[in-house]
Amino acid sequence: MTDWRSLPGAPAIGTRLCGAQDVPDGQGKEIVFGEGKDAFRIVVLFVKNRWFAFHNCCPHFSIPLNYDPDRFHIFDEDLLMCAHHTAIYRIADGECIDGPCLGARLTSIPVERALDAIFIGPSN
């Protein structure tokens, strides 16, 4: 699995991603650093009272998991589906369990909540 810190444009540990109130329970939010095709995209998810974040890049075609801004397909608060090719990922560990990139993983980004905001954490 790729270390998120080695990806081009990755923000630094401690970077504020969003306010905790910006991600409704059972949903996700996209945070974008930079512009255009070189932008670094992160999806922040809040499910089952836990925070998760991944590089918003489907391993199948290296495109974002969402089609519309901040609209992510989450099922049973356990699964995240790529809007483009229906690859299904477990939110708990980012592994693709169904679809065109079976066995691949999303690149996890550690997050922590502090001061009612979500920040990139020091480790997974």
- pTM comes to 0.94
Residue 55 near residue 109, CB atoms below 8 Å: yes
For residue 60, what pLDDT is reported? 87
Domain boundaries, the chain: 4-71+107-120
For residue 9, what pLDDT is reported? 94
Looking at CATH, the fold of the domain delimited by 4-71+107-120 is given as: Rieske Iron-sulfur Protein (2.102.10)
For residue 95, what pLDDT is reported? 97
Task: Per residue of the chain (124 residues), give pLDDT as tens.
Answer: 579 999 999 999 999 999 999 999 999 999 999 998 889 999 999 999 999 999 999 998 889 999 998 899 999 999 999 999 899 999 999 999 999 999 999 999 999 999 899 999 987 5
The whole-angstrom distance between residue 48's C-alpha and the CA centroid of its chain comes to 16
Core vs surface per residue 42-62: b (16+ CB within 10 A) or e: bbbbbbeeebbbbbbbbbbee
